[in-house]
Amino acid sequence: MAIRLEILQRSSENGARLGRVHTPHGVFDTPAFMPVATAAAMKGLTPEQVRSTGSQIILNNTLHCMLRPGAERIAKFGSSHAFMRWNAPILTDSGGFQAFSMADIRTLDDDGVTFSSFVDGAKVRMTPEVSIRAQNLIGADIIMAFDDCPPAAAEVPMERVREAMHRSVAWLHRCKAAHARPDAQALFGIVQGGTHLELRKESAARTCEIELPGYAIGGVAVGESPERIADTVRFTAPLLPDAKPRYLMGVGYPRDIAIAVAAGVDMFDCVLPTRNGRNALAFTREGALRLRNARFADDQAPIEADCDCQTCAGGFSRAYLRHLFSAGEMLGPTLVSLHNVRLYQRLMLAIRRAIGCNAWSALETDWPCLSAAREQPTGDPE
Cα(355)–Cα(163) distance, rounded to whole angstroms? 38
In sign, the C-alpha dihedral spanning 39, 97, 142, 347 is positive
114, 196, 182: which is closest to 153 by C-alpha? 196
DSSP, collapsed to helix, strand or coil, labels residue 137 as helix
Cα(382)–Cα(359) distance, rounded to whole angstroms? 39
Considering the candidates 147, 148, 266, 269, report the single residue annotated as catalytic.
269
Q: Which residues have C-beta within 8 Å of that of residue 257, sequence separation ≥ 6?
A: 31, 33, 251, 268, 347, 348, 351
Considering the candidates 29, 93, 109, 266, report the single residue annotated as catalytic.
93
Supply φ then ψ for residue 133, to 5 degrees: -60, -45
**Structure letter (DSSP) for residue 42:** B
In sign, the C-alpha dihedral spanning 54, 341, 45, 78 is positive
Q: Is 109 a catalytic residue?
A: no
Q: Is 93 a catalytic residue?
A: yes
99, 90, 23: which is closest to 60 by C-alpha? 90
355, 285, 269: which is closest to 89 by C-alpha? 269
Residue type, 181: R
The DSSP code sequence of 189-246 is EEE--TT-HHHHHHHHHHHHTS--SEEEE-SSSSS--HHHHHHHHHHHGGGS-TTS-E
Per-residue CA distances from 27 to 6, 19, 144, 207, 265 (Å):
10, 10, 19, 26, 18
Catalytic positions: 93, 269
